């Protein structure tokens, strides 16, 4: 009995010695893994610095035939040169008047492309409209609002080659980022940065 007791005591002491050794081994292993992952994290951060996120948009103005592909945002800021290039193509084709398009509209279009999984250029039916152009159109059609957001650079009418108009509308509605108008008979979707609402169809 005494021998059994001594054997049990000896085994317990052995286990007590093995357990800290195990802990030391595990800690050492975890430390080594951490050290190995540090260079990988640094490399990842370096790669992110070398390849900054950029937002690009492409447009074809259906009235003037002009095209542009521009980077309008990079390194956490809007790029004036890119925005000017887009503003030029989105000007009022009737009067030649230009306007600073709302950057939120660019962001909506960029998200729309991402949602649809494409970088295809947008075909522009109408973007900025001068007050004179808008007044003229409103006189001809009940579908043109007198205080249209087009006159504030906050709206655009588009179609997207290779995508059904109904799919374009569905994707735009899912963003919940402003107004969405559906005009299948005229083959375009209206987007604006006003309050969230929808109509047409």
pLDDT in tens, 9-43: 333 333 333 344 544 544 455 455 444 444 554 44
Of the listed ranges 31-45, 86-100, 113-127, the least confidently predicted one is: 31-45
Q: Where do the DSSP E strands lie in the chain?
A: 54-61, 67-74, 77-78, 122-126, 155-159, 179-183, 188-192, 197-200
* Structure-block tokens of residue 26: 């595990």
What's the confidence (pLDDT) of residue 103? 98
Would you state the CATH architecture of domain 54-200? 2-Layer Sandwich (3.30)
Domain boundaries, the chain: 1-51, 54-200
* Structure-block tokens of residue 48: 């992110």
pTM of the model: 0.74
- The sheet carrying 188-192 orders its strands as 77-78, 67-74, 54-61, 122-126, 155-159, 188-192, 179-183, 197-200
Q: What is the pLDDT of residues 153-193, one digit of tens each?
A: 999 999 999 999 999 999 999 999 999 999 999 999 999 99
- Of the pLDDT bands very low, low, confident and very high (cuts 50, 70, 90), residue 69 is very high
3-state secondary structure at position 82: helix
């Amino acid at each position: 009995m005494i021998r059994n007791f001594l054997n049990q005591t000896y085994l317990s002491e052995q286990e007590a010695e093995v357990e800290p050794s195990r802990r030391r081994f595990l800690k050492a292993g975890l430390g080594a893994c951490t050290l190995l992952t540090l260079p990988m994290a640094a490399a990842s951060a370096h790669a992110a610095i070398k390849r900054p996120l950029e937002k690009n948009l492409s447009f074809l103005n259906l009235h003037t035939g002009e095209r542009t592909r521009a980077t309008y945002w990079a390194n956490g800021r809007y790029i004036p040169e890119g925005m000017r290039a887009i503003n030029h193509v989105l000007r009022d084709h009737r009067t030649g008047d230009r306007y600073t398009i709302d950057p939120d509209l660019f962001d909506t279009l960029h998200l729309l492309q991402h949602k649809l999984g494409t970088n295809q250029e947008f075909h522009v039916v109408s973007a900025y409209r001068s007050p004179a152009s808008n007044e003229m159109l409103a006189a001809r059609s009940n579908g043109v609002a007198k205080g249209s957001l087009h006159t504030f650079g906050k709206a655009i009418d588009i179609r997207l080659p290779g995508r059904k108009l109904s799919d374009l509308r569905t994707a735009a509605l899912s963003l919940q980022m402003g107004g969405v108008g559906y005009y299948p008979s005229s083959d375009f979707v209206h987007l604006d940065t006003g309050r969230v609402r929808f109509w047409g169809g």
